[in-house]
Amino acid sequence: MNTLLKIAMAQISPVWLDKSATLKKIESSINDAAEEGCELIVFGEALLPGYPFWLALTGGAEWNTNLNKELHAHYVNNSISIEKGELDSVCQLAKKYNMAIYLGIVERPLDRGGHSIYASLVYINETGEIKSTHRKLQPTYDERLTWSPGDGNGLQVHPLRTFTVGGLNCWENWMPLPRTALYGQGENLHIAVWPGSEHNTKDITKFIARESRSYVVSVSSLMTRSDFPKDTPYLDEILKNAPETLANGGSCIAGPDGEWLVEPVLNKEGLIIQTIDFNRVLEERQNFDPVGHYSRPDVTKLIVNRDRQTTVEIK
């Protein structure tokens, strides 16, 4: 039995709020990962079409301003409606290369009316099928001004070679119960996606690995002032308060013992590739398994609602 899995972390910048151009960068990264023989590629949170950096830079909480309305509309127009086939090209590449993909998108779902948007983590399997779309349960702080809260439908795990893989978006990785929901379904390869920066990844990556005795793959994006397209609405106002680097990466991998396999990589665009061995999971579960021999479901138990929430149910 082959217990190895070759992973590519795509630490790239978006063509900010331009979904067509960002899709081309994503497809190029998939092609490059295929040339390296990778079996899984992971992209950062909300990479397609980009993280809402303007909220912290332009007074995003100000009520009823033209700037906030127009930037939000621009964001929605560049968000992804899966039902319209806007990820079809990515799915086709997954099938072509027999490669699984985790992709962070800003989703504009038709089952919620098609006007609100969600930070979603999409899993595409090796045959090119979208098997889960996890909408971020709780947008963080100023993200709530543009992203809507998700539901439990995407708290799913998936078979991948000898592994069982699942994933969460950014700070929901700090939420103990969503993590437990994935552990309890057999997760042993945890994907954590971030908008960028090692201050997010450097502590939680090793912590989850040690808690779960799983591999943890944290993938971040990059963003600098030069990554803002010149035709971005209100660009001058955004750049006036923007630092040179808004997201410096920090993609990394911790093993099931909580130690680094790949330490956080900073300010480097491209693929970061690592091969992992499933047997290391079994070795570390010998002394601790949080949902197996080292659990007490007769005392504490988690209930998960995986219903997809919608306002209208058509009978």
One-character DSSP codes across 257-276: TS-EEEEEEES--EEEEEEE
pLDDT at position 314 = 87
**Is the distance from CB of 104 to CB of 121 less than 8 angstroms?**
yes
- Residues of the chain whose pLDDT is less than 70? none
- Domain positions in the chain: 4-285
User: Is residue 187 annotated as a catalytic residue, yes or no?
Assistant: no
**Is the distance from CB of 169 to CB of 121 less than 8 angstroms?**
yes
Distance CA 12, CA 33 (A): 13
pLDDT at position 1 = 75
Give me the catalytic one of 19, 25, 136, 206.
136
Within the chain, strands assigned E span 4-11, 40-43, 100-107, 118-124, 130-135, 158-160, 163-169, 189-194, 215-220, 222-224, 245-254, 260-266, 270-277
**Is the distance from CB of 181 to CB of 304 less than 8 angstroms?**
yes
pLDDT at position 272 = 98
Distance CA 163, CA 189 (A): 7
Q: In this structure, are strands 4-11 and 40-43 parallel, antiparallel, or unpaired?
A: parallel
Give me the catalytic one of 170, 198, 206, 211.
170
Return all residues near 4 (Cβ < 8 A) that are at least 6 apart. 275, 276, 277, 278
> 105: exposed, middle or buried (C-beta count within 10 Å: 0-12, 13-18, 19+)?
buried
User: Is residue 45 annotated as a catalytic residue, yes or no?
Assistant: yes
**Is the distance from CB of 32 to CB of 24 less than 8 angstroms?**
no
3-state DSSP percent of the chain in helix, strand and coil, to 5: 30, 30, 40
Give me the catalytic one of 19, 38, 45, 86.
45
Distance CA 132, CA 124 (A): 8
What is the CATH architecture of 4-285?
Answer: 4-Layer Sandwich (3.60)
User: Is residue 62 annotated as a catalytic residue, yes or no?
Assistant: no
> 186: exposed, middle or buried (C-beta count within 10 Å: 0-12, 13-18, 19+)?
middle
**Is the distance from CB of 135 to CB of 154 less than 8 angstroms?**
yes
User: In sequence order, what are the beta bridge partners of 258?
Assistant: none
pLDDT at position 305 = 97
Number of CB atoms found within 10 A of residue 203's CB? 11
Helix (H, G, I), strand (E, B) or coil at 187: coil
Give the CA angle between residues 33, 22, 68 to the nearest 5°. 145
**Is the distance from CB of 166 to CB of 156 less than 8 angstroms?**
yes
Distance CA 57, CA 80 (A): 24
**Is the distance from CB of 112 to CB of 310 less than 8 angstroms?**
yes
